[in-house]
Amino acid sequence: MRASGQQLTAPGAPKGRPMTRALSSRILPKIGTAVQYGLLILLLCLTFFIVVLMVALSLRPSVLIYVDFWALPWPPTFVNYREAVFDLIPSLLRTLIVCASTIFGVLAISCSAAYAFARMRFPGRDALFYIVLAVLMIPGIILLTPHYIIATDLGLRGSLWGLVVFYVAGGLPFAVFLITTFFRGQPQEIFEAARVDGASPSQSLFHIAIPLSWPILVTVAIFNFLSIYSDFIWPSLMLSQSQQTLILALEQYNPQVGEFGSRPDIGMQTAGYVFATLPQLIVFGFGMKFFIQGVTSGAVKA
């Protein structure tokens, strides 16, 4: 019997080498993991530093910001928010109307199309679905010029409909793809039983497919909301000065500080930016659970 702790080594091999290899095999992965977590924490701190700085500036009068930029917002003041909300609320309402109308149109059309692709058989079904996938490969920036020409010919420039119509058209391919994959993953037996009971395809869609698909529908809604809410290029081409969406209004939002002549009111500007981010945080916060379920299930089902 060998004493406990004694190393087993091959004849002629230097003593201590097995112990060194064992320690290195254990320590190196831990060092790599620590470095990865350290980098992630650093990136997280850098990301939230900008957000915290923006909130801190929004809670201070601009006069004090120009005196000491890095001072803490104490005592905090909400005067900047009162002014910014009053100035930006019309643009926010227009943006929310466009988002709600677009999401409703995308979900209504894509659910019907996805059900046809997933549960119905008709000539050319697979070819049409591949065409939908092919449209996803076209960069959106390439379509700006033809969309602008079509909007001008249809008389949609200068109205919110010029945004809604093209947002719906642009959001349909991705929505049809996601919802179709989710519908195909639903149990076929449920739909067969409904068909035996005399349910029509529309009844199966509204009473079976859609109620079972809330995660993917919320996912599609969040994707469209985030892209529409933060879009700048298309509204700048379609809308007039009096019909600006929130992003356009923020780009031109430049209140002045009376005490400093023509200097911008930094406190009011940052309050406007913070106010503009709240709808996104609220939508994503309430839909987080369904969003994660939809991304991890509907996007990978065959």
Tokens encoding 164? 């809604």
The conformation of residue 257, written as its DSSP 8-state character, comes to -
In the chain, which residues have pLDDT < 50? Answer: 1-10, 13, 298-302
The residue behind tokens 């299930």 is 297
| % pLDDT > 70, the chain | 86
List, in sequence order, every residue forming a beta bridge with 226; answer none if it has no partner: none
Count Cβ atoms below 10 Å from residue 209 Cβ, excluding itself. 22
Q: What is the pLDDT of residue 287?
A: 79
Q: What is the pLDDT of residue 141?
A: 86
Q: What is the pLDDT of residues 171-230, one digit of tens each?
A: 999 999 999 999 998 888 999 998 898 888 899 999 999 998 888 999 899 999 999 999
How far is the CA of 182 from the CAs of 103, 166, 169, 186, in angstroms? 18, 25, 21, 7
Q: What is the pLDDT of residue 91?
A: 94
The residue behind tokens 């969406």 is 245
pTM score, two decimals? Answer: 0.82
Residues 41, 23 contacting (CB under 8 angstroms)? no
Instruction: Dump the DSSP string for 49-99.
Output: HHHHHHHHHHTS-HHHHHH-TT----S---HHHHHHHHHHHHHHHHHHHHH
